[in-house]
Amino acid sequence: MLKQIENFTLSMRGRNLSAHTIRAYSGDLGEFAAFMALRNLLSVKDFNIRSIRSYLAYENAKEVSRGTMLRKISALRSFAKFLTNRGLIAASPFSLFYAPKRDTLLPKFLTEEEASKLMEAEISPRFATRNKALLELLYSSGLRRSEILGLNVGDINFTEGYVKVLGKGSKERLVPVSDIALEALSNYLSARASVNNASPLFLGSRNTRLSGEGLAQIVKKSAVKSHLARKVTPHSLRHSFATHLLNNGCDLKSLQEMLGHKSLSATQVYTHVSLDRLKKVYDKAHPMGGEVEK
């Protein structure tokens, strides 16, 4: 079984999966293999509904979060599909397995005032222009963490005002960039010693491409500096981008394209949090809406 888990991990690297997903699935399957080894269940034939349920009960007893448990189930289901496709098992054990659905959590976002404060935060004079450009672009275009970290200088079109993004599934899209963000990017790049179109857009302290941890720390420290009484992550700015656009009249289809969502249903979650817009529509349309005239 260990050999097949290694083969499965190698196969994941040849697919359009994020490094985070590959790392998480590999870790989950490694834990499953250790569980099986302690019980002397080392053959692929031992990968069945009974062993899967036994392992998940063991993990559940450790009181792992619902999200972690669902990810472990997803890793095992993907491994089962791998074994089935290669004829190593007759059928997937998951055809007999019911998995709970993931909770639908409403996106956490900043108010427009909070976002404005965050954009003005200065946490490091040495990297002030970079941090300003980074935060402005995140909020201006709603990019995912992996997308903004993967950008090169040539992906920014200063003339037309857009950024070329390589999203999930290696799908390319063009996303508008605000004039404020373009100015911040221009100031940042002007201060760099050597720049060409193939250069990473955002650099870390060692003049190499900025890491995910580095990005998270910049956002976190900026939030603390801004005295925001909540946890703020790069994804918070993506949620804020989407919510503020909807609140100010953007249609769902356009927002879907900018966010790079495959289906409109993924974008519709933001309609549940755009209460400001709903209230404005209600006040304008309902005969008893808005302020009562005296």
Q: Which residues are catalytic?
A: 144, 168, 235, 238, 261, 270
Place of tokens 């097949």: 4
Q: Which residues contact 101 (CB under 8 A, 6 or more apart)?
A: none
Q: How many CA atoms lie within 13 A of 104 on its CB side?
A: 8
Q: Which residues contact 94 (CB under 8 A, 6 or more apart)?
A: 52, 76, 77, 80
The 3-state DSSP class for residue 293 equals coil
| Whether 207 contacts 214, CB under 8 Å | no
Q: Which residues contact 231 (CB under 8 A, 6 or more apart)?
A: 108, 220, 223
- The separation between the first and the last C-alpha atoms of the chain, rounded to the nearest angstrom, is 77
Strands 156-157 and 162-166: antiparallel
| Whether 269 contacts 177, CB under 8 Å | no
How big is the chain by its Cα radius of gyration, in Å? 23
Q: Which residues contact 246 (CB under 8 A, 6 or more apart)?
A: 252, 255, 270, 271, 274, 277
The 3-state DSSP class for residue 174 equals strand
- Rounded to 5 degrees, what are φ and ψ at 176? -60, 150
Place of tokens 């004039």: 179
